[in-house]
Amino acid sequence: MESLLYKKSGVSVDLQLYRDFNKEAVYKALARKGETLKHLWQKYNAVGVVDGKKPYSYRQYCRRYSEWTDSKHITFHIQRYPGVNLELDYAGKQLLIHNRRYPNETTKVTIFIAALTYSDYFYAEGMIDCDIRNWIRVNNNALDFFGGITPTITPDNCKVAVNKNKDWISPELNKDYQAWAEHNDTVITPAKVKSPRWKPVVEGHVKIVTMHILVEMEEMIFYSLEELNRVLQQKVAKENNRNFEGLSYSRADLFKTEEKETLLPLPLNKFEYLERKLVKVAQDFSFTFDKVHYSMPRKYLKKEVELRVGEKEIFVYNKNGDHIRTHKRSYTPKEWVIIPSDMPAEYGDYGYWNVPYFQQKASKIGPSTRALIDAVIKRYAYPVQAFRSCFGILRYAEKYSPEALEKCCRDAINFGKCNYSYVSNTVSTYHTETKPDATDVFPENQEAVTGRYKDDDSQYSLKNLLMRQEKEAHHED
pLDDT at 170: 64
For residue 446, what are the contacts with CB-CB under 8 A and spacing of at least 6? none
Q: Predicted confidence band at 443 (pLDDT cuts at 50, 70, 90)?
A: very low
Q: How close are the terminal C-alpha atoms of the chain, in Å? A: 154
Residue 451 CB coordination number (10 Å)? 10
| Opening angle at CA 315, ends 312 and 319, nearest 5 | 160
Sign of the Cα torsion 193, 198, 204, 206 reads negative
Full-model pTM: 0.55
CATH of region 85-262, choose from 3.30.1490.190, 3.40.50.620, 3.30.420.10, 3.90.1150.10: 3.30.420.10
Does 466 have pLDDT greater than 70? no
Longest pairwise C-alpha distance within the chain: 154
- Looking at 22-36, 115-129, 228-242, which range is the least confident one? 22-36
Percent of the chain with pLDDT over 90: 34
- Looking at 19-23, 247-251, 470-474, which range is the least confident one? 470-474
Does 10 have pLDDT greater than 70? no
What mean pLDDT is reported for the chain? Answer: 80
- β-strand 162-164 against 95-98: which pairing, if any? unpaired
**Is-contact 259 172, C-beta < 8 A?**
no
Nearest C-alpha neighbor of 93 from the set 212, 194, 193: 212
- Domain definitions of the chain by residue range: 16-71, 85-262, 275-342, 355-430, 447-476
DSSP class of residue 451 equals S
Residues 401 and 62: their CA atoms lie apart, in Å, by 97
Averaged pLDDT for residues 250-256: 93
- Looking at 32-46, 169-183, 208-222, 290-304, which range is the least confident one? 32-46
pLDDT digits (tens, 9 = 90+) for 78-124: 556 788 889 988 988 899 999 888 878 999 999 999 999 888 899 99
